[in-house]
A and B are shown apart, each in its own frame.
Chain A
């Protein structure tokens, strides 16, 4: 323990020296100088963004709905159409307002038909007649089925009742008395509903149809039920169907849930259409994050857009565990889980792919084994002399020159043909391959170690909680005063994630001064984190609690700052274009020739 403490002192002085070199962190330094340990941690106010963080907003479903409404109102104002019409048009155009306005100005009836607002019939507008023939044959695939069933509808008569009869409703085509063409119910108190196309169906069938579309198919674009009819259901219509009062309370609740799901689908569609928005990937979370600075692919070479929707925990998991209260953190730029700072998406992806590939296994075999010259079995030499006897075919050969052992004559145990012919070339090739493998393994082992340690911190947290309880009992400390343990564990986990990714980054960084500086920062952080981890694992005794508390607090603040230095410096490096890679990374310049 005492030795730990000394190391920490060394670190402290090192850290202050170092700090002067770093830009952008000097403000923080003063805070630490003055930090009173009894006052626990300096917690940066939420509004203050650090240099390696970026601006983003977390939006609730309500907030996104408001964005949608403002877009809809905007279109309503320009086109002079109803709200539901504007919504259908915008959805049809994937919320691209400019393109919608352009197309609408060009040919309003065409786009109204395509979006399912109107059917192509003369009553809509004069212009609609023009587009009539082209659209009617254009939408349906040229399938025999549609040809056959469409026989009647090919005629120009737009009368919907006529269409109704065509769809093989076996009862007389005259809808008096009304028979729902879907469920064949003919009770007189049946409620009929239809869109503007006047394809009448009973309300029960509409409810079942809309419910099936929304719940089974996750589809928000719901068209009329008549075969070949392209009219879309406006939101008001869907709402009227789902929210109308029913006798059965259970059914009403189910319909209300379907309506909520419908609204969620609309929001999801809006978010997916907008590059500035992303839906929180955590299960059953309905928040959206807006991060315009990371919306373009090019921006991903200079920033790591790690965002958080602000919510915590996963529905269904217990709130007490640390997993249950995990922050909803994700990368806005790529699909990688959680936080891959400081390394950018492109390099992180490259590294994960490398780790997944079996190629490294093959590399290992290549560097560590040879094949028996006779039976071609793969052999690993794990000690002993160069006189090999193949276990399988009993062939005797020399490991060095791979020639038959009998030719070595009396010069046992030293191959005098070592430096001759192409043998030395083969040896060089093998050692190069081995060196590159060892290099990879060096980084991979550290990467994997930090990943493992970060996972173990969940366990560590459980232990820590136990310790905190003990401390509350064995000392006069209050609950709030033992919170330093929790903070420390959280900080360790965070830093291990950073460290993990620094190894991925270091693997791909081209050799040079920049890389050395990077690795210096990495080393400092790593040492600090390991110290703190060790301290957290040490046994707690009543008499040393105050010392312990001070040490942990002390180190936690230090670790926190080292982590910020690494993140800030790396982020600044990306903005300045300081980092050079020794492989081709998407969005970056090609590596320089000699280094590669």
Chain B
């Protein structure tokens, strides 16, 4: 569809010209309908300092049907699947409007990181963690931001101490069950690989 191609090209060009929003859209391969978007983690959140990448697939009926997005970067967030990166957001589903653009949708994702919706979760385990113990959740989210999104890590500690400490509670902080990890270790996998 000619109009679709024109629109997507325009959207990519507009995003390039706009230096203020810090939103980037790049081609993954030759096709303009499979893209990679990225944005910095919002300030004042556990995601601050991280660089988050999003896989973007433009359907045939775009912009009349919503664009398909999922996180490439692993994110510890109640509305994002910690395994697949799938995102639970209304504008990606029934609240989609054809006037929304790739950029505005990515901005929405950025703001989703600011304000999680644990009552309508994508990842039930993470949402439970969020509602029961917010501090511990923040620690894990910061840790994930550090290892997966290149974030600065916990603020008050030096990087060296974090590395040392991480071997102690990396299982808990990765949001995994100790029993599961031990099960895999028994099968001969290295602990660090299992946790990752």
Report which A residues bind B (CB closer than 8 A): 140-141, 143-149, 164, 167-170, 181-185, 201, 204-205, 208-209, 211-213, 216, 225-229
Contacts and interface: CB of A to CB of B under 8 A. Distances in A.
A169 B11 CA distance: 10
Max chain A C-beta neighbours (<10 A), residue from B18, B64, B97, B99? B99
A227 B10 contact: no
A566 B89 CA distance: 59
A132 to B, nearest CB: 21
A143 B89 contact: yes
A212 B90 contact: no
A225 B97 contact: yes
A534 B45 CA distance: 82
Contacts of A209: 64, 98
B108 interface: yes
Given A144-B108, A145-B108, A205-B3, 4 more contacts: A141-B95, A148-B111, A149-B100, A183-B7
7 contacts: A149-B91, A167-B97, A208-B3, A209-B98, A211-B64, A227-B97, A228-B97
B90 A145 contact: yes
B20 interface: no
A229 B108 CA distance: 18
Nearest to A228: B97
Contacts of A205: 3, 64, 98
A264 B149 CA distance: 50
A183 B101 CA distance: 11
Given A148-B111, A225-B99, A226-B99, A168 B104 contact: yes
A227 B90 CA distance: 12
Nearest to B102: A168
Given A212-B65, A225-B97, A183 B3 contact: yes
B7 A216 contact: no
Contacts of B63: 182
Interface in B1-35: 3, 6-7, 10, 14, 18
B115 A144 contact: yes
Contact of A183 (B6, B18, B90): B6
B99 A145 contact: no
A212 B61 contact: yes
Contacts of B105: 145
Contact of B61 (A144, A216, A228): A216
B98 A169 contact: no
Contacts of B64: 205, 208-209, 211-213
Contacts of B10: 170, 184
Interface of B: 3, 6-7, 10, 14, 18, 61, 63-65, 89-91, 95, 97-101, 103-105, 107-109, 111-112, 114-115, 117
Given A183-B7, A209-B64, A170 B14 contact: yes
B108 A168 contact: no
A228 B7 CA distance: 21
A144 B108 CA distance: 7
Contacts of B103: 168
A93 B109 CA distance: 35
B95 to A, nearest CB: 7
Contacts of A143: 89-91, 95, 112, 117
Contacts of A149: 91, 100, 104, 107-108
A169 to B, nearest CB: 7
Contacts of B89: 143, 145
B99 A169 contact: yes
Contacts of B117: 143-144
A168 B14 CA distance: 10
A181 B11 CA distance: 11
B100 A227 contact: yes
A208 B111 CA distance: 30
Top 10 A-B pairs ranked by shortest CB distance?
A145-B108, A212-B64, A227-B97, A167-B99, A144-B111, A170-B14, A183-B3, A144-B115, A148-B111, A168-B104
B56 to A, nearest CB: 16
A168 B107 CA distance: 11
Contact of B99 (A141, A182, A204): A182
A185 B63 CA distance: 14
B91 A145 contact: yes
B170 to A, nearest CB: 30
Nearest to A209: B64
B47 to A, nearest CB: 13
Given A225-B99, A226-B97, A216 B90 contact: no
Contact of A144 (B3, B65, B99, B114): B114
Nearest to B9: A184
Nearest to A140: B95
Max chain B C-beta neighbours (<10 A), residue from A143, A184, A205, A229? A143
A213 to B, nearest CB: 8
B100 A184 contact: no
A201 B90 CA distance: 23
Nearest to B65: A212
B87 to A, nearest CB: 11
Contacts of A141: 90, 95
Contacts of B61: 208, 212, 216
Given A145-B112, A146-B91, A205-B3, A182 B98 contact: yes
A169 B104 CA distance: 10
Contacts of A212: 61, 64-65
Contacts of B101: 168, 170
Nearest to B115: A144
B132 to A, nearest CB: 22
Nearest to B113: A144
A195 to B, nearest CB: 14
Contacts of A227: 97, 99-100
A146 B115 CA distance: 12
Nearest to B64: A212
B108 A167 contact: no
Contacts of A147: 111, 115
A407 B16 CA distance: 93
Nearest to B8: A184
Contacts of A146: 90-91, 95
Nearest to B18: A170
A149 B18 CA distance: 17
B65 A216 contact: yes
A170 to B, nearest CB: 4
Nearest to B1: A208
A184 B12 CA distance: 13
A84 B110 CA distance: 41
